Each structure stands twice: as structure tokens, then as C-alpha cells.
Amino acid sequence: MLRYMAIMPHGNEAVYPIDEDSKILNANLKKIGEELKDVESYVLITPHNVRSSEAIAIVIAENLIPWLLFNDVPIPVESEYKTDVELAREIYLSSKDKFPVVDVNFASARGRYSRFPLTWGEMIPLHFLRKKPLVLISPPREVKREVLVEFGKHLGRVLEGSEKEVALIVSADHGHAHDPKGPYGYAKESKEYDSLIYRLMQNMDFSRLLELENDFIEKAKPDSYWSLLIAHGVMQEVKFSKVVHISYACPTYYGMLSALFKR
């Protein structure tokens, strides 16, 4: 059963807050971690792990090893995680004839040499969560929006039918063009995008995502858009009753949000 869906950022300032807004965000992320303490597994959608242009990547490697930090800032996270291989395979096998998906492993099919890296896209959300088995999913940007939504519906059905209690974690930062001195410069669309996502979370309805123009998304420079399309599909299959722990911070050039959707 899918118990929760959490929207969690992956910027360093979520762990090491530098202003009042990021301190509130940090506090809410800790609250989310506390609420999720009793689930059995996580399914973590991340934009910063496997990068495939044409397929949704589902990691089935047994061992997940923290490796790539963001700006070389160490994130305190336990050294090794386990993939929920049973759930990962169920998601993959039930999807492969319907959607562009690929199963990803490394070195060995199973056992201690079946290992895969964790990046800041996973390590920062995991910092706030108790250690559990997890499934990593990385969506591509080139797959059609409607396909990502339909995959989300399918994912929702699979998780809802699971005998395990599962939390879906959407690792997402939002507009990346808030600061003219940042690596992507300034674009007003970043603020507009972030404001829209905040409202959509409050309303528990992501349907407006499908109305956004490609040019607007390109200028806003989010990394959250494609993952949120999957979340939109999940929300059409799984009915959440409320959303809590919403907060927003933009201490540098990118926006960060927290939210927890509950049954």
C-alpha cells in the first residue's frame, strides 16, 4: 500500500540552512522523516542518477553506495543502502511491455558486487529518512509528458497493490534561474514556476503541469517537472486526503519545496 508521497529537495541548503526560509524547510523535512518512520520501503524518483534520453530507468542493483556529492559538501548519510529488489523487479516487469523502461544494474547480476552509486539527488532526501530498502527511478526529459503521467498511474497501482507499506519520495528542486550570478543566470519564469508548483501542492492537483509551454519550462530551468508528471499520474490512482509540512526556500539560485501527501 502506498501510505505517503513526499516532495523533498536535494540542495545542500536543505541540510545546512543559511536563512530563515531554509531553516523552516529543514524543520519540515525532519517532520516528514518522522512521519515516514514506520514504512517498509521507499520508491525514490530522482533526476540526478541514471541519465537516459529515451527510457525510464529502474535500478535493480542490490547495493546502493553514496558516491557523488553536490559541490563537495559532505552529506551525513549511512554508508550503504539496499535496493528493494523484489519491488523494483515488480515495477519493471509490470511496466516493460507498456512503457519505455529499462532495468539498470552494474558489475554483477546479484550479490555484493551488484552495486550502484547514490548522488546528492538521493542522499539529501535520505538524510532526513530512516534507513529502509528503496527503489530508484530516474525519468528522462525526452519521453512524452502523457507517457510519464500514464507511467505514474501504473506505478500508483503497483504500489497500492503491494503488501508492503511504501512511501513515494520525489526528489526535486525547482526553478534554477533565480540569481543572475548563478550558473543559469536570471529568468522571471523560475519564480513563476515555483509559485505555481507551490499552489498546485496546496491544492493537491498537478493537472496544470500539462498546460505549461516547453519554452516556459526551458526558461524556468526546473529539474522537478518530469518527476512531478509521474507524481501527477500517481495521484490519479491513489487518493491522498491532505498535504502537510509545505514550505519553500530559495537561498541561492534554485528553489526548494517540501510537502507530504497523506492518506
Nearest to 153 by CA among 165, 168, 164, 163: 168
* Amino acid at residue number 130: R
How far apart CA 37 and CA 130 sit, in angstroms, is: 6
| Cross-sheet strand order for the sheet of 81-82 | 81-82, 63-68, 115-119
Q: Which domain holds residue 180?
A: 2-49+122-262
Q: What pLDDT is stored for residue 46 in this prediction?
A: 98
pLDDT tens digits along 245-254: 999 999 999 9
pLDDT tens digits along 216-227: 999 999 999 999
Contact 22, 251 (CB under 8 A): yes
Tell me the HSE value of 256 on the side-chain side, using a 13 A CA sphere: 28
Largest Cα–Cα separation, the chain: 49
Mean confidence (pLDDT) of the chain: 96
Nearest to 41 by CA among 2, 9, 14, 6: 2
Average the pLDDT over 35-52 and give the result. Answer: 96
Confirm whether 63 is domain-assigned: no
Confirm whether 94 is domain-assigned: no
How far apart CA 40 and CA 54 sit, in angstroms, is: 31
Count of the separate structural domains present in the chain = 1
Confirm whether 57 is domain-assigned: no
pLDDT tens digits along 227-243: 999 999 999 999 999 99
Confirm whether 158 is domain-assigned: yes
Residues 6+ apart with CB under 8 A from 179: 186, 252, 253
**Which single residue is written with the C-alpha cell 539496499?**
82
How far apart CA 196 and CA 82 sit, in angstroms, is: 35
How far apart CA 22 and CA 1 sit, in angstroms, is: 32
* Chain centre to alpha carbon of residue 82: 18
Helices (H), 132-213: 145-160, 188-203
Confirm whether 98 is domain-assigned: no
Q: What is the CATH number of the domain that holds 198?
A: 3.40.830.10
pLDDT tens digits along 128-165: 999 999 999 999 999 999 999 999 999 999 999 999 99
Confirm whether 217 is domain-assigned: yes
Q: What pLDDT is stored for residue 70 in this prediction?
A: 78
- The fraction of the chain above a pLDDT of 90, given in percent, is 94
Q: Which three cell numbers stand for residue 170?
A: 520525489
How far apart CA 159 and CA 168 sit, in angstroms, is: 9
How far apart CA 179 and CA 188 sit, in angstroms, is: 10
pLDDT tens digits along 61-79: 999 999 888 777 777 777 8
pLDDT tens digits along 187-205: 999 999 999 999 999 999 9
118 pLDDT more than 80 = yes
Q: What pLDDT is stored for residue 68 in this prediction?
A: 80
Helices (H), the chain: 12-15, 20-35, 85-95, 120-127, 145-160, 188-203, 214-220, 225-237
In the three-class reduction of DSSP (H, G, I as helix; E, B as strand; rest coil), residue 238 is classed as: coil
Q: What's the chain's length in residues?
A: 263
**Which single residue is written with the C-alpha cell 491513489?**
238
Confirm whether 116 is domain-assigned: no
Confirm whether 105 is domain-assigned: no
173 pLDDT more than 80 = yes
